[in-house]
């Protein structure tokens, strides 16, 4: 039954548009043109984030940050092995997924560390990427507390993930 939901939904949209007299082909091409324009406009912001991630990891700075922050994370109940993952998650979804795969391979899918990493992955967001994309298209130039609050929430998600997974 579920394999028919999306096709039926799309068909329903086309029938509704036809009944309302909307030129669906023209609407689709205009939407695609707007999406292409948007992609080109946000490309510099995305490139800046990707370059920053590469600089962070290739320069070895991420390793030094992990060494410095790891004991602090342990004091908060977060396994030290997840420090790099938690630090990278706000910057890059794909980079954090690569680290997550390494965690699963190293510690096994049912380990405490992998379970915490799974909850962190599901309960946090790529803060800098999302901020770059969303705020690049708005007139908001001063982010105020948006980034610090989002990063604090990522940290809270990690703390609560470690706490919850410890008892499950």
Structural tokens at position 166: 């410890």
Report residue 117 as tokens: 């990493």
Query: What pLDDT was estimated at residue 7?
Result: 92
DSSP state of 82: G
Residue indicated by tokens 């800098």: 128
The answer to whether position 29 is within a domain reads: no
- Global pTM value: 0.70
User: What is the number of domains present in the chain?
Assistant: 1
Give the pLDDT score at 19. 93
What is the pLDDT at residue 99? 87
Distance of CA 124 to the CA centre of its chain: 7
**Who contacts 117 (Cβ-Cβ below 8 Å, separation ≥6)?**
82, 85, 100, 103, 104
CA distance 43 to 57: 21
Answer yes or no: is 95 within a domain. yes
Query: Which pLDDT score is estimated for 152?
Result: 93
The DSSP string of 32-43 is HHHHHHHHHHHH
**Structural domain that includes position 121:** 43-167
Tell me which DSSP letter residue 142 carries: -
Q: What is the pLDDT of residue 165?
A: 93
Residue 83 lies in a domain: yes
Residues of the chain under the 70 pLDDT cut: 141
């Amino acid at each position: 039954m579920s394999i028919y939901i999306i096709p039926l939904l799309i068909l329903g949209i086309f029938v509704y548009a036809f009944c309302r007299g909307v030129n669906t082909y023209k609407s689709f091409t205009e939407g695609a043109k707007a999406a292409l324009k948007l992609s080109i406009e946000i490309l510099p912001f995305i490139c800046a984030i990707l370059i920053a991630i590469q600089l962070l990891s290739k320069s070895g700075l991420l390793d030094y940050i992990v060494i410095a922050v790891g004991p602090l994370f342990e004091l908060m109940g977060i396994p030290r092995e997840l420090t790099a993952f938690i630090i990278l998650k706000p910057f890059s979804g794909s980079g954090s997924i690569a680290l997550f795969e390494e965690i699963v391979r190293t510690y096994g899918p049912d380990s405490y560390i992998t379970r915490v990493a799974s909850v962190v992955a599901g309960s946090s967001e790529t803060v800098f990427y999302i901020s770059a994309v969303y705020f690049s298209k708005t007139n908001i130039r001063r982010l105020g507390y948006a980034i610090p609050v989002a990063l604090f929430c990522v940290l809270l998600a990690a703390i609560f993930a470690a706490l919850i997974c410890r008892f499950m």
